[in-house]
């Protein structure tokens, strides 16, 4: 067992697979010094295989079985395949992480030949679940290729019989009825960006006419009307200007009928580094923003308005179930390459989208090869295996002793970008500080407020 002190005199104790109990500190002292803990403490800790009688081997077998169940997805690599169909974009967002190109520059579009080779990789991966996500630039600027890939993938899947799904990441400014008809016919989900109220969104996400927010909102309404609410989701990015208005951002989602929001910090990759403060505002300020936002979401739910904070829901699944939600930033081994992989417009293959963004600034660390290399060569390359094994949390100093290790993950791209090291020094890691802050906050909330505990539990079991 591993433990972490909370702000009161209580501690959270976890086992190898993330099951947990919260105890008074004195009670844990009784356990570890061989004293006289309460019978209820012994029952709770034995049920989670945190303690056992010396002759009792069953708890070890049970724990091993839980760990095997949790890690079974590792045999199912790779389920998420991201196609960068173009670098062209009609937006000039302040935090853009790729080298967007002007809309007239067709040489920055993926070709059918490249897409065909990339599809060879998609179907070479052993995963039964295959999700193809189209990205840009603005992906709808190359909608003809999206249509071609969808039809070709469905044709290939006629023999393969995988569980095939499609997502288009788009700012929705250019969506039209013909595109929506195609999405409806092929059950394609649209994922868009919405940073909050109009003034904040349009300040961050600039386009001719300053109408990005109006077009995104109109697009969300059109997708909802044509395909249904389950076929559109929105993501926000937190900028300096967002930090003092989490409530307004969340309310803008609720007003649109959206029932989930992912409170995301800005990432220190690619061209986002040009933002003030290198794009890396103080982690404590972001945590304050997150706590205020989550408190507001809890109050909305208490008042009867359903709203989920998606990062908290992912963590709740780890806290309260033995299921791994498979979120690529919170897995160990890391999700790069084996959880998701990126095919760039020019045929380059990257271990993750952040790796592609780093490449835009000249750092090719996460470029694994091209679509013309074999799947086995890509998956077996040291450029992928080195960051995977070097960042494996059970053997990384700091993480190996951390009570939150089963809920956390390895992020070799973040630590390479910020510390030039795949594992990273956790005392200096903004990733670690952010997650420690959120894990601690969620445990304390659930420990002190039964409504919040039930809410997190319901998010975990959705």
Q: Which of 11, 379, 432, 443 binds ligand SF4 (CB under 6 A)?
A: 432
CB atoms within 10 A of CB 23: 25
Q: Does 15 help bind ligand SF4 (rule: CB under 6 A)? A: no
| Measured distance CA(342)–CA(83) in Å, rounded | 6
Site for ligand SF4 in 231-290 (CB under 6 A): none
For 161, 291, 364, the CA distances from 354, given in Å and listed in that order, are 31, 26, 11
Min CB(286)–ligand SF4 separation in Å: 15
> Minimum Å distance from CB 432 to ligand SF4?
3
Among the listed ranges 25-33, 172-180, 356-364, 391-399, the one in contact with ligand SF4 (CB under 6 A) is 391-399
Options 125, 202, 436, 440; binder of ligand SF4; rule CB under 6 A = 436
Question: What is the footprint of ligand SF4 within residues 63-92 (CB under 6 A)?
Answer: none
CA 116 remoteness from chain centre: 27
**Which one of the spans 44-52, 74-82, 402-410, 451-459 is the region binding ligand SF4 (CB under 6 A)?**
402-410
Shortest separation between residue 397's beta carbon and ligand SF4, angstroms: 9
Shortest Å distance, C-beta 437 to ligand SF4: 9
DSSP assignments along 89-147, one per residue: -S---TT--S--B-TT-GGGBPPHHHHHHHHHHHHHS--SEEEEEEESSSGGGGHHHHH
Q: How many CA atoms lie within 13 A of 49 on its CB side?
A: 17
Instruction: Enumerate residues 6+ apart whose C-beta is below 8 A from 174.
Output: 90, 138, 140, 141
Among 41, 426, 430, 438, binds ligand SF4 (CB under 6 A): 426
User: To the nearest whole angstrom, how small is the minimum distance from the Cβ of residue 442 to ligand SF4?
Assistant: 13
Interacting residues of 295 by C-beta distance below 8 A, sequence separation 6+: none
Sign of the alpha-carbon dihedral angle for 434, 437, 441, 447: positive
Stretch that binds ligand SF4, among 21-29, 137-145, 358-366, 400-408 (CB under 6 A): 400-408
What tokens appear for 59 in the block? 């708890």
Q: Does 139 bind ligand SF4 (CB under 6 A)?
A: no
212 or 393: CB nearest ligand SF4: 393
Asked if 402 is part of the footprint of ligand SF4 (rule: CB under 6 A), the reply reads yes
Nearer to ligand SF4, 24 or 398 (CB): 398
Residue of 120, 229, 398, 437 that binds ligand SF4 (CB under 6 A): 398
Buried b or exposed e, range 363-399, using 16+ CB within 10 angstroms: bebbbbbbbeeebeebbebebbeebbbbbbbeebeeb
| Cα 411 from chain centre | 11
Q: How far is the CB of 435 from ligand SF4 (least distance, A)?
A: 5
Q: Which is nearer to ligand SF4, 46 or 280 (CB)?
A: 280
Judged by the rule CB under 6 A, the positions of this chain that interact with ligand SF4 are: 393, 398-399, 402, 404-405, 408, 426, 432, 435-436
């Amino acid at each position: 067992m591993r433990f972490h002190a909370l702000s009161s005199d209580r501690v959270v104790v976890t086992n190898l697979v993330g099951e947990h109990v919260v105890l008074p500190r004195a009670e844990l002292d009784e356990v570890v010094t061989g004293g006289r803990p309460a019978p209820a403490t012994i029952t709770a800790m034995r049920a989670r295989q945190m303690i056992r009688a010396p002759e009792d081997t069953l708890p070890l077998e049970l724990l091993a079985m839980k760990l095997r169940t949790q890690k079974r997805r590792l045999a199912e690599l790779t389920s998420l395949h991201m196609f960068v169909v173009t670098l062209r974009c009609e937006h000039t967002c302040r935090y853009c992480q790729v080298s967007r190109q002007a809309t007239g520059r067709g040489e920055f579009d993926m070709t059918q030949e490249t897409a065909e080779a990339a599809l060879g990789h998609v179907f070479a991966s052993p995963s039964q679940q295959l999700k193809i996500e189209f990205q840009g630039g603005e992906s709808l600027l190359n909608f003809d290729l999206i249509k071609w890939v969808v039809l070709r993938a469905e044709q290939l899947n006629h023999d393969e019989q995988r569980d095939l799904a499609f997502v288009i990441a788009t700012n929705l400014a250019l969506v039209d009825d013909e595109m929506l008809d195609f999405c409806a016919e092929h059950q394609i989900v649209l994922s868009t960006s919405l940073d909050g109220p109009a003034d904040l969104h349009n300040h961050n996400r600039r386009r001719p006419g300053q109408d990005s927010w109006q077009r995104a909102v109109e697009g969300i309404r059109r997708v909802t009307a044509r395909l249904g609410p389950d076929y559109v989701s929105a993501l926000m990015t937190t900028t300096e200007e967002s930090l003092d208005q989490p409530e307004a951002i969340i309310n803008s989602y609720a007003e649109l009928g959206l029932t989930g929001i992912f409170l995301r910090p800005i990432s220190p990759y690619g061209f986002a580094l040009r933002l003030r403060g290198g794009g890396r505002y103080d982690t404590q300020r972001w945590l304050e923003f997150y706590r205020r936002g989550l408190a507001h979401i809890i109050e909305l739910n208490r008042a009867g308005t359903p709203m989920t904070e998606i990062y908290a829901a992912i963590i709740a699944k780890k806290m309260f179930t033995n299921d791994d939600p498979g979120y690529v930033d919170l897995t160990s081994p890391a999700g790069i390459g084996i959880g998701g992989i990126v095919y760039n417009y020019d045929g380059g293959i990257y271990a993750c989208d952040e790796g592609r963004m780093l490449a835009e600034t000249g750092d090719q660390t996460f470029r694994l090869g091209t679509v013309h290399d074999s799947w086995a060569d890509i998956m077996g390359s040291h450029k992928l295996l080195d960051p995977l094994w070097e960042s494996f949390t059970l053997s990384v100093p700091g993480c190996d002793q951390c009570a939150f290790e089963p809920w956390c993950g390895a992020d070799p791209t973040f630590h390479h970008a910020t510390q030039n090291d795949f594992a990273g020094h956790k005392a200096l890691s903004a990733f670690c500080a952010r997650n420690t802050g959120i894990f601690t906050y969620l445990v304390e909330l659930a420990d002190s407020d039964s409504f919040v505990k039930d809410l997190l539990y319901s998010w975990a079991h959705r």
